[in-house]
Amino acid sequence: MTLNRRHFLAALTASAGVLSLGGRAFAQAPFVIPTYGGTWAKFWEEVLLPGFTKATGIQGQLDVGLGKDFVSKIRAGGAASPYSVFMGNENIAAMLRAEGFFEPLDLTKVPNAAKLHEGLMNPENNGLRGIVSPIGLAYRTDMIQTPPKSWTDLWTNPEFKGRIGLYQIGNTGALLFLRLAGKLFGSGDMDIDTAFTKIAELAPFTQASWSGEVATALMRGDVAIAPVDWTEIMTLQDKGAPVEIVVPTEGVLAYEQSFNIVKTGAAKDQAHAYINYLIDADVQSNMAKTFYTSPVNTASTVDAALAKRIPITGDAMSKIIRFDWDKYVEIAADVADRWNREIG
Amino acid sequence: MTVTPDAPRLHRRAPVWWMILPALVLLVGFLILPYISIVVMSFREASTKAVYGDGFTLAHYTDVIADPFIWGIVWRTVRTALIVTVVTLLLGYPVAYHLARTRSRVASLLYICVISPLLVGLVVRTFAWMIILSNNGIANSWMKALHLIDRPIQLLNTPLGVTIALIHVFLPFVILPLLGNLQAINPEIALAGRSLGASRMRTFFKVTLPLSMPGIQAGSILVFVLSISAYVTPAMLGGSQGRTMAVLVVQYLVDNFRWPAGAALAIFMAVITLAILVVYLRLTARAMRRLP
């Protein structure tokens, strides 16, 4: 085909049209909301996202993955992050925070933050913990004679020997348990040497990569006792599994999902609106019903039946054992490496 | 079709090279550039404040090479891949041979049996193996029922469990190349051997087996490479005892965010795999040159 002037002008006009459409499409690009897969994605898609759009008029687009995936994408994005809001365990968020990827929340745009339980807002408003899944000691009621009362029972009750399940070091649950061991037996939660010694004493134990795997091991009877989050155990109970979970005397650990404003993200207002909506009293109550999480909003209500099943609500939120992850960032890689070599 | 005198001249002038451009763009964009990026990253300094530091270093490679822990996992990975390759060959060859020679109506059913595992997601298949291999799983229950064992044998979270599952997962990858190769061998060659007085066994070992060497080579390389780089199965079934290099690399990259060290580890493993393949190719090529 020969390209004459008419063809050239037509092509130019078409290109200009496409470019202008592209520009409009970019201007109206949906706000990207990172979340987890499985039942989490389902809840976000069917309940949370429509509710968020209805409440704020903001269209959101889900991106399903793990907190670690979101870290990689934010890092790879450099000065143009694909996300304006980050969701991930607080220990992972602490790492991005140390790298300077987050900026403090503008609390005038997050009025619900004033209703948060104590300890859930990070210093200098640098992110907040918007979803709390407590971790207790779960056990098989048909395999254990003496139910656990304390975390230290794992070491002292001979009935548990060889039947314990723990998380692998890649899971935040393992880090929480490691620091708990340091706190219980050593000079403090940063006493990693003592923690390693004490965890080695629990061997042999089964290691699992994520909560679902621990739950499956409990279901199969491959392990009889394990630290797991309420979400998994309540779900197992709903299916009729003979499992129970207790609040140890020292308190519970918790997966705390940190929500942060990404400095290099493009949609800061939408990100603030999203975080505000996520910690809304009703949304948190809804999450508690769906995931058996502990509502972070003091105004959230949990009915009596549900409160019996999830004891870490309201004032009991103070039973959560928290650690400072900002100072742990520096040693995180070495600890993981050491776990692989010493614990396996 | 009428060919005008100009046609050959036009054909000669046609710039054929641009036809490979899309493939070249894909290759450079999605393979070569990321590889270069990984190689460069493997020499960057580590950082806890960013993806990697500003400077360059050889430390990640020297750390890897000097670390007996890493070598232990390398050996476990290579050993597992070798076992999987040999066992899949031994199991897959008779199946491929039968499929290549049979005229039975059930051949289609057999084809479906061979291919069907590929239709189910790897994660699902690995979950199935989790259920089969667990202490209270089918494998242990059957062995107990047959009075072969008194108490459960630990299969989950062991190299043995990973090996068993990988054999199942990669069996089709050895059968299919072998099948193509065996079907291409003229059956009359084997018949000629038989008519000259060779036994069925002798004909197989002296005629069919050597002629199927290209299929064996292709299938074994495929399975070896896939086994050595397998991630999902070792990650889900291996636990700490069955951890392979791929799992360790992902742990470095994804769990610990040690990107430069993880990149060095990945390249180290790729070099080892390449070295083993070069040796294997040379040995098998030499064996094939001696074929009749």
Convert the pLDDT of each residue in B148-174 to its tens digit: 888 888 888 889 999 999 999 999 999
Q: Which two tokens stand for residue B135?
A: 């202490």
Q: Which of A71, A101, A218, A337 to mutate to test the interface with B (most CBs of B within 10 A)?
A: A337
Enumerate helices (H) and strands (E) in chain B, giving the number of each.
16, 0
The pLDDT assigned to B292 comes to 59
CATH assignment, B55-290? 1.10.3720.10
| pLDDT over 60 at B33, yes or no | yes
How does pLDDT run across B268-278, given as a tens digit for each residue? 999 999 999 99
Please answer whether residues B113 and B193 qualify as being in contact, where contact means their C-beta atoms are separated by less than 8 angstroms: no
**Disruptive mutation site among A99, A213, A219, A334 for chain B (greatest number of B CBs within 10 Å):** A99
CA B180/CA A301 separation, integer angstroms = 66
Query: B169 with B88: CB under 8 angstroms?
Result: no
pLDDT at site A22: 39
User: A344, B51: Cβ pair inside 8 Å?
Assistant: no
Residue of A nearest to B251 (CA): A170
Structure tokens at A169: 């070091």
Closest CA to B231 of B36, B80, B44, B98: B80
Question: Strand A128-140 relative to strand A243-246: parallel, antiparallel, unpaired?
Answer: antiparallel
- Tens of pLDDT along A305-319? 999 999 999 999 999
pTM reported for the whole predicted model? 0.81
Sign of CA dihedral B68, B72, B77, B83: positive
CA dist., res. A90 & res. B196, Å (int): 77
Which chain A residues are within 8 Å of B260, Cβ to Cβ?
none
Query: A-chain residues within 8 Å CB-CB of B134?
Result: 217, 220, 222
Q: Do domains A32-132+255-324 and A133-253+329-343 have the same CATH topology?
A: yes
Which residues, including other chains, have CB under 8 Å from residue B50's CB and lie 6 or more apart? Answer: A75, A99
Q: List the structure tokens of B63.
A: 């750390």
Give A186→chain B minimum CA distance, Å: 25
- Measure in Å the smallest separation between the Cα of B116 and chain A Cα atoms: 26
Provide the residue-wise pLDDT of chain A in tens; the chain has 344 residues. Answer: 444 545 444 444 444 443 344 344 344 567 999 999 989 999 999 999 999 999 999 999 999 998 888 998 898 888 889 999 999 999 999 999 988 999 999 999 999 999 999 999 999 999 999 999 999 999 999 999 999 999 999 999 999 999 999 999 889 999 999 999 999 999 999 999 999 999 999 998 988 888 888 998 899 888 999 999 999 999 999 999 999 999 999 999 999 999 999 999 999 999 999 999 999 999 999 999 999 999 999 999 999 999 999 999 999 999 999 999 988 988 988 898 899 888 87
B129 pLDDT higher than 60: yes
Q: B256, A221: Cβ pair inside 8 Å?
A: no
Q: What is the pLDDT of residue B200?
A: 86
**Are B256 and A340 in contact (CB < 8 Å)?**
no
Nearest chain A CA: its distance from B138 CA (Å): 11
Is residue A240 within 8 Å of A225, Cβ to Cβ? no
Inter-chain contacts counted by CB atoms under 8 A, chains A and B: 66
Q: Does domain A32-132+255-324 have CATH number 3.40.190.10?
A: yes
Separation CA B145–CA A231 (nearest Å): 36
Give the tokens for residue A77.
Answer: 């994005």
A133-253+329-343: CATH class:
alpha beta
Contacts 24+ apart (CB under 8 A), B41-44: B41/B259, B41/B260, B41/B263, B42/B260, B42/B263, B42/B264, B42/B266, B42/B267, B43/B260, B43/B264, B44/B260
Domain boundaries along the sequence of chain A: 32-132+255-324, 133-253+329-343
3-class secondary structure, A31: strand
Would you state the structure tokens that stand for residue B168, as one six-digit string? 């199942």
The model's confidence at residue B262, banded by pLDDT at 50, 70 and 90, is: very high
